[in-house]
């Protein structure tokens, strides 16, 4: 279907086709594949970003609500982060021996993260969750895991998904996925697998809020059963509070994993936790990385913490995000749309339902299409940046108003599919 927007991304689609021939999956992260947006309408490549804005391969400008899939919530090219990276670059990026900067970064984490008494640096969220689970298994002497939906690409995480090719059966027998807030299933699993569960690893919050003291109940159950509680704070870390979601909710895990926002756009992750656990585990596990102590990322992390300590980042993100959520839902009500914005300010998502209150991929596609055509970009969640201006937010809500009106009218007229200019987004796992 040839459209005006399709012509605007024609060069990008040609480049993507070439990329698929020479790069496995076309890119390095499933959430950046062309199919996660409205293919044919959504931008495929970004070539430049600054503040909260990004420019695609054709030069179109967008307000970016994904911010590098989470890392750049203090803004692209944040001046303090950029200056710290440039200063460290003059000294060096990595040495043949550790740098004292590792100690300073570790001390900083211990100072701000409630559960942190000892630290191990890595590069990606997947590496860090893998290390945390290995620590838990080594510490408890148990193999089985209770997990949330997604914690990276390792065997124990993907064993029970549709993307489990190449994963031995033995992993599938040791991993149990539970839905957020489903405390009854957690209890049943502990009853069914007494003295076999090493840990529960969950995101402390996605976009569904914890109900009926869920986090504290998890804390109590794991403690009663000799298992560890691990928070995957790759997304929530530093975003909900300086000390992460564990500080925000006041329920402290045994171990926690951080990444994404940690390096301000540079690759850095960490496992942090109780010293007694990590000291015991270190004698029987092997976690080692040439680039775990890479210095540009550690310098960037210290600069991010400085921004969070000296500027009203969290106050601003909560204010912006909650305002967008509340105003969006008012607009949906005004137009008779059943699309709903959910979550807390730092991390928002949408429930895409049609006017019959059914999940509807075509309604989702049309809404996303109309939003991105007007210069608002996001893929999975919306992760508002501290650097969004009031004018950016005002324009975003104007776009949502127009997209909701058009989508709802199309539903009522039965023309949703007729108006689609691209392909529906594809869920990866």
Query: What are the residue ranges of CATH 3.40.640.10 in the chain?
Result: 94-293
**Looking at residue 279, what is its pLDDT?**
94
Q: What pLDDT digit, counting tens, does each position of 227-270 carry? A: 999 999 999 999 999 999 999 999 999 999 999 999 999 999 99
Judged by DSSP in three states, 50 sits in strand
**Looking at residue 4, what is its pLDDT?**
46
Reported confidence tier of residue 7, pLDDT bands at 50, 70, 90? low
Q: How far apart are CA 4 and CA 261, in angstroms?
A: 36
Q: How far apart are CA 287 and CA 132, in angstroms?
A: 10
Give the chain's mean pLDDT. Answer: 95
* Whether pLDDT at 3 is above 50: no
Active site residue 394: no
Q: How far apart are CA 403 and CA 365, in angstroms?
A: 11
Strand 197-202, strand 228-233: pairing: parallel
Q: Which CATH number fits domain 94-293: 3.40.50.1100, 3.40.640.10, 1.10.1200.10, 3.40.605.10?
A: 3.40.640.10
Q: How far apart are CA 411 and CA 301, in angstroms?
A: 47
pTM: 0.94
**Looking at residue 76, what is its pLDDT?**
97
Active-site entry in 32, 123, 147, 260: 260
Q: How far apart are CA 241 and CA 238, in angstroms?
A: 5
Residues facing 145 on adjacent strands: 175, 199
Angle between helices 100-112 and 295-310 (to 10 degrees): 30
Token pair 């939906």 is found at 149
Q: How far apart are CA 157 and CA 164, in angstroms?
A: 9
Angle between helices 214-224 and 183-192 (to 10 degrees): 10
Buried b (16+ CB within 10 A) or exposed e, 393-422: beebbebbbebbbbbbebbeeeebeebbbb
Q: Phi and psi for 21 in degrees, rounded to 5?
A: -75, -25
Active-site entry in 64, 232, 254, 392: 232
CB atoms closer than 10 angstroms to residue 217? 16
Strand 255-258, strand 269-273: pairing: antiparallel
Strand stretches in 123-276, DSSP E: 144-147, 175-177, 197-202, 228-233, 255-258, 269-273
Active-site entry in 150, 171, 180, 352: 150
Active site residue 306: no
Reported confidence tier of residue 6, pLDDT bands at 50, 70, 90? very low
Q: How far apart are CA 358 and CA 355, in angstroms?
A: 7
Q: Which CATH number fits domain 4-76+312-419: 3.40.50.970, 3.40.30.10, 3.90.1150.10, 3.40.640.10?
A: 3.90.1150.10
Judged by DSSP in three states, 177 sits in strand
Average pLDDT of the residues in 62-84? 96
Q: What pLDDT digit, counting tens, does each position of 161-220 carry? A: 888 889 888 888 899 999 999 999 999 999 999 999 999 999 999 999 999 999 999 999
- Edge-to-edge strands, sheet with 376-377: 46-50, 53-56, 61-64, 376-377
Q: What pLDDT digit, counting tens, does each position of 108-151 carry? A: 999 999 999 999 999 999 999 999 999 999 999 999 999 999 99
* Whether pLDDT at 2 is above 50: no
Reported confidence tier of residue 428, pLDDT bands at 50, 70, 90? confident
* Whether pLDDT at 1 is above 70: no
Q: How far apart are CA 363 and CA 411, in angstroms?
A: 8
Query: What are the residue ranges of CATH 3.90.1150.10 in the chain?
Result: 4-76+312-419
Active site residue 232: yes
Contact assessment for residue 101 and residue 92, using Cβ atoms and an 8 Å cutoff: no
Reported confidence tier of residue 51, pLDDT bands at 50, 70, 90? very high
Q: Using a pLDDT cut of 90, give the percent of the chain over it.
A: 87
């Amino acid at each position: 279907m040839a459209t005006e927007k399709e012509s605007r991304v024609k060069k990008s689609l040609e480049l993507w086709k070439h990329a698929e021939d020479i790069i496995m999956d076309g890119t390095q992260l499933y959430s950046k594949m062309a199919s996660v947006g409205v293919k044919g309408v959504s931008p495929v490549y970004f070539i430049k970003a600054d503040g909260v804005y990004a420019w695609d391969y054709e030069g179109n400008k967008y307000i970016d609500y994904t911010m590098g899939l989470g890392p750049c919530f203090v803004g692209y090219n944040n001046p303090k982060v950029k200056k710290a990276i440039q200063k460290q670059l003059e000294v060096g990026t990595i040495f043949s021996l550790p740098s004292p900067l590792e100690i300073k970064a570790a001390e900083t984490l211990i100072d701000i993260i409630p559960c942190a008494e000892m630290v191990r640096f890595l590069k990606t969220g997947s590496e860090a969750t893998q290390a945390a689970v290995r620590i838990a298994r080594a510490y408890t002497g148990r193999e089985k895991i209770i997990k949330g939906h997604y914690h990276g690409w390792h065997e124990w995480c993907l064993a029970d998904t549709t993307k489990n090719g190449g994963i031995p059966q033995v992993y599938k027998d040791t991993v149990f996925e539970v839905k957020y807030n489903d405390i009854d299933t957690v209890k049943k699993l502990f009853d069914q697998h007494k003295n076999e569960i090493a840990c529960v690893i969950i995101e402390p919050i996605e976009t569904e809020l914890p109900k009926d003291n869920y986090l504290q109940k998890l804390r109590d159950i794991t403690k009663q059963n000799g298992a560890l509680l691990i928070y995957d704070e790759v997304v929530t870390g530093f975003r909900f509070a300086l000390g992460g979601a564990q500080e925000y909710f006041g329920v402290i895990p045994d171990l926690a994993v951080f990444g994404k926002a940690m390096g301000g756009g540079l690759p850095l992750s960490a496992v942090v936790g109780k010293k007694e656990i990590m000291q015991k585990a270190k004698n029987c596990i092997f976690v080692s990385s040439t680039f775990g102590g890479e210095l540009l990322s550690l310098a960037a992390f210290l600069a991010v913490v400085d921004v969070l300590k000296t500027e009203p980042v969290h106050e601003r993100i909560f204010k912006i995000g909650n305002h967008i959520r509340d105003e969006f839902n008012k607009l949906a009500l005004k137009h008779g749309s059943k699309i709903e914005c959910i979550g807390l300010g730092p991390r928002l998502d949408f429930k895409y339902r049609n006017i019959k209150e059914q999940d509807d991929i075509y309604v989702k596609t049309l809404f996303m299409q109309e939003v991105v055509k007007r210069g608002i970009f996001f893929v999975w969640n919306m992760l508002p940046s501290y650097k969004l201006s009031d004018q950016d937010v005002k324009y975003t809500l104007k776009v949502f108003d127009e997209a909701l009106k058009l989508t709802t009218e199309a539903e009522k007229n039965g023309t949703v599919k007729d108006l689609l200019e691209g392909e529906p987004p594809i869920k990866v796992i």
